[in-house]
Structure 1
Amino acid sequence: MKKIAILVLGICSQIVFSQANRFVYQVTMKPDSTDRNVIKTETANLDISGANSIFYAENRMKRDSILSRARQTGSFNFDRSQMQGLRSNLDFIIEKDYKTGKKIYKAGILRDQYAYEEDRPMDWKILPETATIGEYKTQKAETKFAGRTWYAWFTTEVPFQDGPYKFSGLPGLIVKVEDAKGDYSFDLKEAKKIDAIASFDQRGSIITVKRAAFEKQQEQFRKDPMAAMASMSSGGGRGGFRIQMDPNQRKRMEDRQKEEFKKNNNPIELK
C-alpha cells in the first residue's frame, strides 16, 4: 500500500508540474498626466510554463481569438463595438526565457509587428519591510527602471522568480508592484493551473530591432501618425501593404489618433 501511495503521489506531481500556471493581475493606470483623476484598469495574465513565461492583456487575448476565428471562417461580420471595447492600453506581449535571462518585448506599429530584447538590467534592493497581501507573506524591494522608481512586494511561497510586465529577478513571485508616483500598479488577484500558456495568432514575420530603434519608430508615429499611414497608402509598408482611404476618412483618422495620443501622454516607461 505504501508503494502504491508513493506511486500515486508521483503521478499527481507529474500532472501538476506538467500544467502551466496563470497569475492574473489587475493593472491600474493613470495614462493622462494632465488629468490624474482619469484612472483605467485592465486585467493582464502572466502565464508560466517550464522555463518560459508570457505576459499579456486579457483584452489582447480576446481580440486575437475573435480575429483568429474570423480568419478561419472567412467571416468578418463580428461586432465592431465589441472589438472597440476590447482595445487595450497594454497592447504588447512580453516573453521571458529563464535559462538565457532574455526578455522579448513585442508590439505593433500600424500593420508592422516589432520585437526587441530588453537591454537594461533591473537591479533590486531588497528592503526589510514585510506585509501580508492576500494569502501571501511578502517582502518589499525597490528598483529604478525606465525613468521610474518601483516598489515591489514578492513572496517566496511561490517558486517563480518572475512578475508582471518586465519585472523579474527577485527570490519569488512579485505579488504587487507600483511606481513611486502612483501612476501604475500591478496587483495579483488570482493564481490557477491551466493546460498551456496562451499563444497568439502571428500573421507575417516580426521585425526584430534594437530597443532604441523601436522607440524611435514609435515616437515618429506619435509625432506624425498620418505620415506613417501615408507611407503605407503609397505601398511603403512592409510587403507593399497598401491602405486606401479618401481624404475625409484620413482626416477623421488623424483627429482620432491625435486625440488618443493626447490622452495617453504618461507611458509606463519615461525613458
Structure 2
Amino acid sequence: MKKLFSIFFIALFAFASAQDKDSKETANRFFYELTFKPKKDSAKLEKVMSVLDIVKDRSIYRDYTVIAQDSILKIQLEMMQKSGVFKDLSKSIRMPKFSEKIVKTYPDMKIQYIERIASGFSPLAIGYNETIKFDWKISNEKEKIGAYNAQKATVEFGGKKWTAWFSSDLPFQDGPYKFSGLPGLIVKIEDEGKNYSWVLQGNKKIPNWEELSYMEKVSNMSLKVTDMPREKFEKTFNDFKKDPFATARPMMTQEIMSKTIPGMDGTIGDMMKKQEKMYKDFFNANDNPIEPPYEKLKVGKVEKVGKAD
C-alpha cells in the first residue's frame, strides 16, 4: 500500500521538472506574463505566469504555477506524512498550463527541451537538443516597456513572424521560451497573429536557488534527461499523450485496481481513471502550439529548428 501511495503521489506531479544534481546558486528570476490563444479557431485568450531563472552557466524557462504553490504543497504533504492518510492533492492545487522546461546553456546558447512522461510507475524525463541561429533584424524604434527602455527587433521562427522588444538595461542575451541572441534581455515578444505574447512583469534575486522544488525532491523526481533526436522525442511524447498509463497498466492486476487508499474517494482503478482524464484534459486544452511539429518545420531565416547537434 505504501508503494501505491507513492505511485499516485508521483502521478500528481508528473508535469514538474527536475534535475539530477541539486545546486545552490543565486538566480536572477524574471517573471513573464504569457497571454496565449489555446485554440486555433477561437478568439479566447488565457494567461499564465512563466519564469526565466538565470544562473551563472544557464537559464531555465518554465511555467511558474507549480513552483508558486511549493510552500502550500509542502505543508499539505507534511500533514499527510504525519497522519499517514493519503489526500488527493489534485483538489487543492492548480495544474500548470505548460509542462515543458527549456534549458539554455551559456555562452553557446544550446537549447535542451524537456518533458516528463511515465515509464511504468516511474517518471522519466525526455528531451532533445538544438542550436537555433536567430536572424534578428534590429530597428532604431524604441519604446518604454514597463520600467525599461526597450528597442525593437523582428525575426521569423517556427513559421511565425515575431516582434521583440529588448532592453540593454538588463545585460542578458536571453528571453522567454527558446528566444535569445539580442544585446539585452527580451522584455516583450509576440507573434504577428498574437497567438503568444510574453511581457516582463518583474524580477528578483533568488539566493540559495535550487532547480528542484521541494515537491520534486520528496517525489524522487530527480532523474537524468534521456536525450533523443527531436523526431523521436515528438513520437515518444505523442504516444504518452494518447495513453499516459500504457506502460503502467500491464502491472495493475484486478486485485490492485479494486483496493482503496485511506483518504481517497473510490478505488485505485478509479484514481487511475481520474489521473488519465487529468492528463488528457491537460494535453487537449491546447491545440495551438508555439511552433509546428518537427516534420512541418520550414527552413527560413532561422536555422532549421530541431536539428540536433
- TM superposition score normalised by structure 2: 0.68
Instruction: Tell me which amino acid in the other structure corresponds to 2:188.
Output: K
* 1:233 correspondence with 2:240: no
Match of 2:151 in 1: 139
Match of 1:43 in 2: 49
Match of 2:34 in 1: 27
* 1:125 correspondence with 2:137: yes
- Among 178, 182, 189, the alignment partner of 2:201 is 189
State the shift of 1:144 in Å.
Answer: 1.6
Match of 2:125 in 1: 113
State the shift of 1:113 in Å.
Answer: 1.5
CA distance in 1, matches of 2:270, 2:26: 52
What's the RMSD between the two structures over aligned residues?
3.0
Inter-CA distance 209–33: structure 2 relative to 1 (3 Å threshold):
same
CA distance in 2, matches of 1:157, 1:151: 19
State the shift of 1:250 in Å.
Answer: 6.3
Match of 2:172 in 1: 160
CA distance in 2, matches of 1:52, 1:105: 13
Deviations 1:227-262 (A, max 9, x none): x523321259xxxxxx95887766666666555444
Instruction: Tell me which amino acid in the other structure corresponds to 1:28.
Output: T
Q: Which has the higher contact order (CA 8 A, sep 6+)?
A: 2
Deviations 1:110-153 (A, max 9, x none): 43211221344322121232211112111111122222221110
Match of 2:292 in 1: 270
Across the two proteins, how many residue pairs are aligned to each other?
Answer: 242
* 1:88 correspondence with 2:104: no
- Asked whether the equivalents of residues 131 and 138 of structure 1 are also in contact (C-alpha less than 8 Å), the reply is yes
Inter-CA distance 52–261: structure 2 relative to 1 (3 Å threshold):
closer
Runs of at least 5 residues in structure 2 that lack an aligned partner in the other structure: 1-24, 259-267, 294-309
CA distance in 2, matches of 1:55, 1:269: 16
- TM superposition score normalised by structure 1: 0.76
Match of 2:261 in 1: none
Aligned partner of residue 218 in structure 1, secondary structure: helix
State the shift of 1:109 in Å.
Answer: 2.4
CA distance in 1, matches of 2:74, 2:114: 18
Inter-CA distance 161–120: structure 2 relative to 1 (3 Å threshold):
closer
* 1:206 correspondence with 2:206: no
Aligned partner of residue 235 in structure 2, secondary structure: helix
State the shift of 1:19 in Å.
Answer: 4.3
- Asked whether the equivalents of residues 160 and 192 of structure 2 are also in contact (C-alpha less than 8 Å), the reply is yes
Deviations 1:150-209 (A, max 9, x none): 111001111111111111110001000111110111100112222144411333443222
Aligned partner of residue 142 in structure 1, secondary structure: strand
Instruction: Tell me which amino acid in the other structure corresponds to 2:174.
Output: D
Inter-CA distance 80–256: structure 2 relative to 1 (3 Å threshold):
closer
Runs of at least 5 residues in structure 1 that lack an aligned partner in the other structure: 1-17, 237-242
- Asked whether the equivalents of residues 92 and 105 of structure 1 are also in contact (C-alpha less than 8 Å), the reply is yes
Inter-CA distance 162–204: structure 2 relative to 1 (3 Å threshold):
closer
CA distance in 2, matches of 1:232, 1:19: 39
Determine which structure has the larger helix proportion and give its number: 1
* 1:151 correspondence with 2:163: yes
- Asked whether the equivalents of residues 80 and 87 of structure 2 are also in contact (C-alpha less than 8 Å), the reply is no
Inter-CA distance 255–95: structure 2 relative to 1 (3 Å threshold):
closer
Among all aligned residue pairs of Structure 1 and Structure 2, give the percentage whose two residues are the same amino acid: 35
- Asked whether the equivalents of residues 110 and 129 of structure 2 are also in contact (C-alpha less than 8 Å), the reply is yes
Matches within 5 A, 1:249-260: 257-260=279-282
Match of 2:185 in 1: 173
CA distance in 1, matches of 2:178, 2:196: 13
Match of 2:263 in 1: none
Aligned partner of residue 201 in structure 2, secondary structure: strand
Match of 1:98 in 2: 106
Q: Which moved more, 1:257-266 or 1:138-147?
A: 257-266
CA distance in 2, matches of 1:145, 1:78: 41
